Amino acid sequence: MKKKILEPVYFTDIRIKDNFWTKKTKTHQRNTLAICLEKCQETGRLDNFKKAAGEKEGKFEGIYFNDSDVYKVLEGVAYALMLEEDAELEKKADQIIADIAGAQEENGYLDTYFTLNAPEEKWTDMEKHEMYCGGHLMEAAVAYKQATGKGVLLEVACRLADHYDSVFGPGKEHWVPGHEEVELGLIKLYRETGEERYLRLAKWLLEERGHGYGKGEIWDKKEWGPAYCQDDKPVKDMSDVKGHAVRAMYLYAAMADIVILNEKEEEYLKALDRLWESVVGRNMYVTGGIGQTKDNEGFTQDYDLPNDTAYCETCASVGMIYWNWRMNMLHADARYADIVEQELYNGALAGVSLDGNRFFYVNPLETDGSHHRQEWYDCSCCPTQIARFIPSIGNYIYNKSDNNIWINQFIKSESEHVLEGGKVQIIQEGNYPWEGSMRFIIGATSLEDFNIFIRISKWVNSFNITINDKNTSDYILGKGYLKLTRSWKQGDQVSLTLDMPVKRVYSDPRVKNNLEKVALQRGPIVYCFEEVDNPGDFNDISISQEAIFSYEYDRELLDGVVKIKVHDGENTFTAVPYYSWDNREEGRMKVWVKERE
């Protein structure tokens, strides 16, 4: 097996100038981070660290894994600071970090729930998220060090990882984290510090699964059991997705990281390929959402995809991005970048309101009007997931390999790529996702001979490409990428136009809930019908096979969207992007509607 094919191009090397995403990142900095910090204060999450440090009296407040929310917000703060300096925000973060450092015990242990409420119960129940919280601390610590150069939180994270390593591992105690995440944190810590013990511990934790070592609440519940947290078989033998959706995504992402770092892990890659077919081929909604039921916040059985009771947790959609981004680095196959796009513009983006102040935990594809975003949740993993995800979307635009640049997402931006033979600047222009015309300009470059690979999404029926405004057929299309090879010069321009009609989407016939139903999609955007746009009997909305579609950009609607009009005899219906629903009047919504002859 060939080692990692593609390398990441991080958002710190990209300046996004895109109307669509710049609006989202500005709203994130202005509103989302502010409300997450405010709620962490109001709910006692921040005070838990002061109490554990002895600076304040009182017991632990909230759910036992509340520490993780603070860490995720800090990670989001770090990414926001990478995009734009903010002295006041950095000062707030520094104070929180000082409180976290003060709460750490002498041996490196850090979890305020156990320090304050149950010190005698440490490491007794693998479901209690001790390492889950620690993993998020590690991710936040690496991000904050990279953003500010300050190493206080990184030192805390390393001491915590050292504590884990002193207690668990070969010849020590067994441990199966009930909620995966620490594996990703340890791998990031390894990449930042070069300390190989952290990588070895991450791999060991993966290998602990499926051998009967799991103990705790999950394993004692017959309706859950080991499969709920992916502990029913060794990871290399997995083939069908099971259990809790977010936990599964974090596990698969960590497995992919191990393969990226070690070319010998062929069995891991084979397992990941099987699992991908299971998730995407048999258990994913048209929006990219995963997890069919609230009962286990996860999966039921293949092709069971109810719309009104769909769980589709926001965290799981973001987890799909993390996993598929890594899968693309391993395979250089556009189908993984296609899934990233599907989540970016649908499943994940629906998780936050247009003003950045309200959040979905659950993302159904149909509702009677009673489901709405909230400012916060007792279990607030989804708001804080959005807080760390939105500012880092630049990570998913490009990859590189040798003297190759891979364009995965179409987001107006300027970027710099350090290849084997020199540096190349790419200026990307366009008005995606509303328009299908993109232009890629070669800026300053010290390299002439390199290849450009441009993704052609699965929804594209036809496209046109020119180089310096001249039509060209001098390309190779393979694995969903156009490969352009030539001697490039500064100022060269590649123009790509993707046909973007309104398309009818149909489910696999084994999805019984969608028989004789149709959904609408234009470009990467999945659409839905809201009651506010369609007065009358909402239940009677249907689309005949002869219906005609039109679309137009409405700058006043939902922060500016392309809306679809369905002209069907005497009836006209309006559809809007799924990600934008529940931002106006309350009412019913559905993605799938009846299709009649």
Active site residues: 297, 381
Residues 415, 398: Cα–Cα separation, whole Å: 9
Instruction: Give the separation between CA 390 and CA 385, rounded to whole angstroms.
Output: 9
Greatest distance between any 2 Cα atoms in the chain: 75
Cα 425 to its chain centre, rounded Å, is: 27
Query: Is 48 within 8 Å of 62 (Cβ atoms)?
Result: yes
Place of tokens 């513009």: 345
Contacts of 254 (CB under 8 A, 6+ apart): 180, 183, 184, 187, 202, 206
CA distance 483 to 162: 45
Inter-residue contact 74 to 96 (CB < 8 Å): yes
Strand partners, 484: 452, 475
Single-letter code of the amino acid located at 584: R
CA atoms 111, 112, 113, 119: torsion sign: positive
CA pair distance 595, 516, nearest whole angstrom = 6
Which long-range contacts (C-beta less than 8 Å, at least 24 apart) are formed by 196-201? 197/161, 197/162, 197/165, 198/161, 198/165, 199/261, 200/169, 201/161, 201/164, 201/165, 201/168, 201/169
Cβ contacts of 20 within 8 Å, gap of 6 or more: 411, 432, 433, 434
Separation of CA 325 from chain center: 9
Q: Take residue 339 and report the two structure tokens written for it.
A: 């899934």
Q: Beta-strand (E) ranges in 112-266?
A: none
Helical H segments across 149-244, by residue range: 152-167, 182-193, 196-207, 217-220
Beta strand 517-522 with 463-467 is unpaired
Q: Which amino acid is at 591?
A: V
The helix/strand/coil state of 229 is helix
Pair of tokens at residue 396: 């998913």
Strand partners, 427: 414, 441
**Tokens 């992402």 — which residue?**
253
The residue ranges of DSSP E strands in 187-308, in sequence order, are none
Q: Which amino acid is at 137?
A: L
Taking Cα atoms as reference points, which of 231, 172, 244, 235 lies closest to residue 201? 172
Nearest residue to 187 via CA among 176, 178, 174, 200? 200
- Cα distances from 463 to residues 73, 231, 347, 358, 496, in angstroms, run 41, 45, 26, 38, 7
Tokens of 77: 């703060």
Q: 254 burial class (0-12, 13-18, 19+ CB within 10 angstroms)?
A: buried
